[in-house]
Structure 1
Amino acid sequence: MSGGETDGPVAILGAGAWGTALACVARRAGREARLWGRDPEVVEAIAAGRGNPAYLPDIALPDGIAATADMAEALDGAGVVLIVCPAQAMREVTGRLIPHLPANAPVALCAKGVERDSLKLMTEVAAERLPGAPLAVLSGPTFAAEVARGLPTAVTVASEDAAAAEAVRDALGDDAFRPYLSDDPIGVEVAGAAKNVIAIACGVAWGLGLGENARAALLTRGLAEITRLAVALGGKPETMMGLAGLGDLSLTCNSRTSRNTSFGYALGEGEAADAVLEGRRTVTEGYWSAQAVVGLAERAGLEDLPITRAVDAVLAGRITTGEALHDLLARPFRAETTDDAP
């Protein structure tokens, strides 16, 4: 089955910050936008024209976004479907989608993560649940609040089905929201999941007061780790230098607006992970993905991902942030560009 361009409504499954921002994008691109959400209060607020105060406070949404708690209603006649749920909910949401998915509608996966139990990427989970559906991945350097406000943003839409990627691009693209196409969904997915783990490390360094140099070093060496993992899993190295790789990593690691960086910052300041997470309404994907990314690396035969492993060890309570820093700094000196460099 191949996805092609269609003028039907854009169905967005997930009414959090990112899902609501993508509904704004679809409306500004001139498409009908139907937003499905679980929380009745959020759905009611959007439907009543009061915006989404729970996830995007003080941001006015474009007129005409339809919001519903009925998935069948959101998907009725949809030309393009965007799944914008947390990564660990992808299996459940795609399962609910099965009886309502319009034939041939491209499905764009907008979650960044790895399923913890199975170590599957989001496209693998969706392919199991929606066999034959044309799948794409939407990723890149995006803060939802900026996208919702209509500020300039560029993203990657990746798919092995060119027509599906083009349909997603045509449904969302305009002067402010610029989708670039890729045929490397694996590379895009690995970059999106692994960068959240590196962002936690950068946040820890920030919280510990280690300075800008340390954060730049972690970002750069983190990109090397992500690239090695992506290539080992079948991704393309050039993808890592694009919007979904370096672009997303640099945005995430250099701003405390990022949920993952701010989470790491709190850890660096001495807060407990559970306490930080309990105080948040939104999902910190890097917390859930760290263990899975390490598992993916081990399955691919990659043993030397020191930053990623350090974050996983800290989150699992095996070492402290101080001990993780000591271990990283005590590593032997290596050449920067050899295949086995950390």
Structure 2
Amino acid sequence: MKAKITLLGGGSWGTALSKLLSENKNDVTVWLRDEKKCIELGKERINKKYLPNVKIPSDVVFTSNINEAVKGAEIILVVIPTQMIRGVLKKIRTENKSNKIIINASKGIEIGTMNLVSDIVREETINCTFAALTGPSHAEEVGLSMPTAITVACEDKNVAEKIQDVFMSTYFRVYTNDDVIGAELGGALKNIIALGAGISDGIGYGDNAKAALINRGIVEIARLGVAMGADVKTFFGLSGIGDLIVTCTSKHSRNWNAGNLIGQGYSKDEAIKKVGMVVEGISTTYAAFELAKKLKVEMPIVDAMYHILENSAEVKETVNKLMLRDKKEEKL
């Protein structure tokens, strides 16, 4: 076995990554809160709700005992919604969350604290090395072994290269990067723009509008990133524009789907219910709105999305306000 790896979470992304890691001859355990679901997955080897067309390898272990799951693991791979991460890490006993490599494969910002996942991990673990696994990677395609390229961001180059070795396969290419903040922000903030792209499509706007939204969206993402100490070049790589493109243009994207429903006239809550999965872009919009205010960063698209979600602002009127803002040069 290459490495002993525990995944926290068994949704679509957790299922796809457990398959990949097992195929790469790693020792893989998946933790789920629901014991009944663990038994079902262990027996049937198919995640009917999230990836019904993907066969889970027979050597992937499922358990609902979190301390049993992480005990002895070299690597803990976090694949649960961002707003749940702190609470789940608190459940792990101190001796089981010390001196590990912790990889975050979720994409979001914690509401209230405005913390990135790297901050949460730093606060809730001891002597652990953090990495972010991010980039254009729909679970539906990875689960079917379709070619995918992503980035692992870690400040420790040796750890980044170890993770690269663990994940690399004939269909899963991994690049390394040392800009953790930039990679995390790119992965989190693109979900807000994807919501907007879905709204644009849902209301009936065309390709021109979506292209402008994607382009000006990456400018806003980079603007906030630079204010937080990230390298601007990161936002033009896989974890930035790469992830943004796929999330804004694919019907696999839960954020695009939620936005599309809102554009058609559904409420935020109705859209979430119909999507049937956590829509990270909604909670991230609230956190990014507060971060932008705190750091005095101009983010008009994020502002517009916040008012649509929080204040039920009328979409076409909101777009008109965006279009009629004061004239300016095109720059970062």
Q: TM-score range by the shorter chain?
A: over 0.9
Amino acid at match of 2:44: G
327-336 vs 179-188, greater mean Cα deviation: 327-336
Corresponding position of 1:176: 171
Q: Give the letter for the 1:294 counterpart.
A: F
How many correspondences in the alignment? Answer: 332
1:259 corresponding residue in structure 2: 254
- Whether the aligned pair in 1 keeps the contact of 2:150 and 2:175 (CA below 8 Å) is yes
Paired residue for 1:308? 302
Cα deviation for residue 31 of structure 1 reads 0.8
Deviation at 1:32, TM superposition (A): 1.4
Range 75-84 or range 188-197, more displaced: 75-84
What is the rounded CA distance, in whole Å, between the counterparts of 1:323 and 1:41 in structure 2? Answer: 48
Alignment of 1:245-284 (within 5 A): 245-284=240-279
1: distance between equivalents of 2:192 and 2:51? 24
Distance in 2 between residues matched to 1:323 and 1:329, nearest whole Å: 10
Deviations 1:74-133 (A, max 9, x none): 212212110111000111111123435365321101111110010111100110001321
- The 5 Å alignment of 1:1-342 reads 7-99=2-94, 101=96, 103-302=98-297, 304-337=298-331, 339=332
Q: TM-score, normalised by structure 2?
A: 0.96
Letter in 2 for 1:253: C
Answer whether contact 2:94 2:125 (CA < 8 A) is retained.
no
Shift of 1:193: 1.0
Decide whether the 8 Å contact of 2:105 with 2:132 is kept in 1. Answer: yes
Separation in structure 2 between the aligned mates of residue 323 and residue 8 of structure 1, nearest angstrom: 53
Looking at structure 2, the residues matched to 104 and 13 of structure 1 have their Cα atoms a distance apart, in angstroms, of 17
Q: Distance in 2 between matches of 1:103 and 1:264?
A: 40
How far the C-alpha of 1:318 sits from its partner, in A, is 4.8
Residue 171 of structure 1, CA deviation: 1.8
Cα-to-partner distance string for 1:43-100 (whole Å, 9 max, x where unaligned): 1222113311121123222231111111122212212110111000111111123435
Contact 1:8 1:77 in 2 (8 A): no
| TM value normalised by structure 1 | 0.93
- Match in the other structure for 1:3: none
Question: Which runs of 5 or more residues in structure 1 are unaligned?
Answer: 1-5
CA contact (8 A) 1:135 1:164 kept: no
RMSD: 1.5
Amino acid at match of 1:305: M
Deviation at 1:272, TM superposition (A): 0.9
**CA shift digits 1:249-292 (9 cap, x unpaired):** 00000112201111111111111111121234310000111010
3-state SS of 1:119 partner:
coil
Distance (whole Å) between structure 2 residues aligned to residue 77 and residue 173 of structure 1:
23
Q: Distance in 2 between matches of 1:104 and 1:173?
A: 23
Please identify runs of 4+ aligned residues in structure 1 that moved more than 4 A.
none
3-state SS, counterpart of residue 111 of structure 1: coil
Give the Cα separation in 2 of the matches to 1:281 and 1:233. Answer: 33
In structure 2, distance between residues paired with 1:23 and 1:98: 23
